[in-house]
Homo-oligomer: A and B are copies of this chain.
Amino acid sequence: GLVPPSTSGCGRSAEGEVSSKQKVITVDGLTLNGPLHDNKAGELFVDEAFQIIMDEVVKKGCNIKEKVCEWKDPEMLRDLLDLELGDSSEPHEKLLQLCRDVARFSVKTNHPRFFNQLFAGLDHHALVGRFLSDSLNTSQYTYEVGPVFVLMEEVVLTKLRAVIGWNSGDGIFCPGGSISTMYAMNLARYRAFPEVKVRGLWSLPRLALFTSQECHYSVKKSACFLGIGLENVQLSMSITGNLFFSLHLAPQSFGAFDPLDEIADVCQKYQALAWGGSVLLSKKHRHLMTGIDRADSVAWNPHKMMMAGLQCSAFLLKDTSNLLKLCHSANATYLFQQDKFYDISYDTGDKSIQCGRKVDCLKLWLMWKARGTRGMEERVDRAFAYTRYLMDEMKKREGFQLLLEVTQFVNICFWYIPPSLRGQQGQEGYEEKLSKCAEGFGWGGVGGWVHMCWTAEVQEQGSFFLNQDNLTMYFSFSPCQASQLAISNICG
């Protein structure tokens, strides 16, 4: 009879032998009912590799006594790693060694001394959520393929909306804040000019997009990608031409919040505005975002301060008119049949600009279950407390010059003043010398892993990874490290 082989590269016994009762089926020289895949060997590999991941990444990567990174120049690293892909398969032990090498030479972004825009450290429960998502390998498009995750995504989005202050609305997880910005921009123009979907931008008046000087660069990227063009991105609120919408991002470097309520007053007669940020979880600090509920949409990246891990980015909407679906749907019949036996409003995939869409809600959901809303709130409050503490310490200590004496968020912008420059402030050439001072405390010397020499203890204990930009060495000192808050205002 026609015995269906186990077709997915799994489901076979380890032996994978053709049973004596079965007829051997051969097509094109391949035995179809022969062994496809050795599941037992595969499972053994997963088991052993998991131990390496636990030891080399989860444990060692979080150990303050270990290095943040074993730095190598690109040319040297290329020689050390065996990256080339050849014709033949590599043996089990070699593959495990490759995993060790990848871990060894990668930056430990979970390390307590790793300070960078995007990262806040490791949450073990979120990590399990990621492993479980990976193993189930679901696409978030229809209820029949992702029943648990369709329901879960809606619960998580509803919770995030509630934190903003909306008791209804819509939303979607998408691959990062920049793409959330694009969603916001596309929806704003569709709401103002629904004909854009069919007729394109040529049928519309020229549109302008308002943002702030310190906006995140995704606003510019989005304007280019969506066909709006950089010259139509206005860096002030002077209202001329065809006002279209405005996007505003909280400055990544300075961590300052815009006065949302004031902006809303300006924008409301045109449309509204949108923002986001984990600060909303804190009863103590959410006043920084007073007015957020007047936004039309919010881009919130729990992969940053909330520690869910990349990628976990929620795009949230106040809209209840099904704008997301109307704007993005293409009604592909091979996925979104209209004659299913269940309520097809659960087939949310057509709201997305993607087709296959990764499950990004589970890691956040599981972490939230493990912490509770109160635990998430404490994480944010702690970040603020650490920041205040560090700022106070910097004011007391020699060798630090704060750019701003007060910070609103968890970013601190400062200069490190090397001993040779101390007391020279105001003198000619001081600023220029200072701007090159990164080298003075290790930049370059240790391959970019800035050894912060501001306390002897720190120097002894290991390396920092510290972000440098052209203007400032900014340093966010908190368990939930500050980072970009993707905050978008839409004035449609």
Contacts and interface: CB of A to CB of B under 8 A. Distances in A.
B384 A8 contact: no
A107 B146 contact: yes
Given A139-B118, A373-B85, A469-B334, A196 B111 contact: no
Contacts of A343: 74
Interface in A46-70: 46-47, 49-50, 53-54, 57-59, 61-64, 69
Nearest to A379: B9
Contact of A138 (B87, B106, B121, B456): B106
Contacts of A406: none
B225 A226 contact: yes
B85 A368 contact: yes
A28 B384 contact: yes
Interface residues of A, number: 208
Given A6-B64, A122-B137, A176-B356, A201 B199 contact: no
Given A4-B457, A7-B479, A127-B134, 17 more contacts: A1-B456, A7-B477, A46-B128, A57-B132, A58-B135, A69-B147, A74-B143, A81-B151, A90-B370, A98-B366, A99-B128, A102-B136, A103-B136, A176-B355, A224-B327, A225-B226, A341-B444
Contact of A144 (B131, B229, B448): B448
A354 interface: yes
A53 to B, nearest CB: 5
Interface stretch (A177-185, A261-269, A270-278, A414-422): A177-185
A325 interface: no
A146 B454 CA distance: 27
Nearest to A328: B221
Given A7-B112, A10-B122, A357-B176, A89 B196 contact: no
B176 A112 contact: no
Given A54-B46, A147-B72, A200-B227, A159 B85 contact: yes
Nearest to A175: B175
B131 A53 contact: yes
Interface string A317-348: 00000000001101111110111111100100
B32 A382 contact: yes
A95 B369 contact: yes
Nearest to A355: B178
A228 interface: yes
Copies in the complex: 2
A83 B455 CA distance: 47
23 contacts: A7-B386, A8-B114, A9-B480, A25-B389, A27-B388, A30-B381, A43-B54, A43-B59, A45-B124, A74-B343, A86-B372, A89-B370, A90-B370, A90-B372, A107-B136, A139-B310, A179-B179, A200-B223, A200-B231, A216-B355, A217-B355, A221-B353, A301-B356
Instruction: Output the residue of A150, A222, A307, A327 with the most chain B CB within 10 A.
Output: A307
Contacts of A381: 28, 30
A32 B127 contact: no
A155 B372 CA distance: 42
A201 B201 contact: yes
A151 to B, nearest CB: 6
Interface string A445-470: 00110000011111001000101111
A176 to B, nearest CB: 5
A389 B27 contact: yes
B333 A470 contact: yes
Given A57-B132, A334-B117, A200 B217 contact: no
